[in-house]
Amino acid sequence: MSIQLVLSHYLSGLRERDELDALLPDLLLAMGHSVLSRAQVGVNQGGVDVLSTQVNADGETEAFLFVIKFGNVNRNDFYSGQQAIHP
């Protein structure tokens, strides 16, 4: 069994709140990202749960916006409703 399969199975079993949203920032830090914002309850974050930056190979700083959702999310869910991403 490959480590990717084990990791994929483990991550798919995590809940959104207090599990996946707690693990993702630590994974990003391990990958060299600077985590600027973490998921918070009761705070308006414009739909973005985790914000990080990382310097790319060209020396430019890239911003990464992560939305943590449980289950399948389609385009309609992403742009409309209470949990939508606000530009």
Please give the Cα distance from 51 to 2 (Å, whole number): 30
The model's confidence at residue 86, banded by pLDDT at 50, 70 and 90, is low
Residue spans of the domains in the chain: they are 3-79
Token pair of 59, please?
Answer: 């020396």
Please give the Cα distance from 2 to 5 (Å, whole number): 5
The pLDDT tens digits for 39-66 are 766 666 666 778 899 999 999 999 998 8
> The pTM is what?
0.67
Q: Residue 36: is its pLDDT beyond 60? A: yes
Phi, psi of 46 (to 5 degrees): 65, 25
Please give the Cα distance from 36 to 17 (Å, whole number): 19
Residue of 60 and 83 predicted with greater confidence: 60
Please give the Cα distance from 21 to 14 (Å, whole number): 9
